[in-house]
Amino acid sequence: MSISIEPGHTFTFQELEVATNNSGSENELGSGGFAVVYKGRLSNGTLVAVKKVLTAHNTPSHGLKEFEVELKFLIKVRHGNLVSFLGYYIHLEHKLLVLEYVSNGTLTKHLFLSNGNDSLLTWNQRVRITLHVAQGLEYIHNNILMTA
């Protein structure tokens, strides 16, 4: 893999396996087309989300390209309304991204679902969230995509 990476924190595979309890299913937050995301706790107590590329898709024509694009993107992103990139691990078949863990579930859950005692968001809360999302998108458009 020929990714030119700016200085940042490089995690060890062992560090991330310990943090995610060996990628245990109890820590799985979700999965997508080429990766699974796990909740983890680093040795210093910091909660993180660890995105692990599925090895079955680890080919130049599939998940590896998406991983490379995402890594290059995340290295550039620095905005208060976007999830922070904390580091990575890359070696042979293992490719992992380490991101800030965001508690309280997904935005979808809060916008559309009501869980028992939890009520849906008020319109004022929804407008505030929409503004923050728009600010994040504006940052990506003006500072990341336009300079690529």
Counted residue by residue, the chain has a size of: 148
- Termini Cα distance of the chain: 20
* Cβ contacts of 15 within 8 Å, gap of 6 or more: 42, 43, 89
> Does residue 77 sit in helix, strand or coil?
coil
What tokens does 20 get?
Answer: 């995610």
The tokens for 90 are 């890359």
Annotated ligand binding at 52? The verdict is yes
Pick from 30, 31, 28: nearest CA to 39: 28
Cβ atoms 53, 96 nearer than 8 A: yes
**Structure letter (DSSP) for residue 33:** S
Known binding positions for ATP: 52
Known binding positions: 52
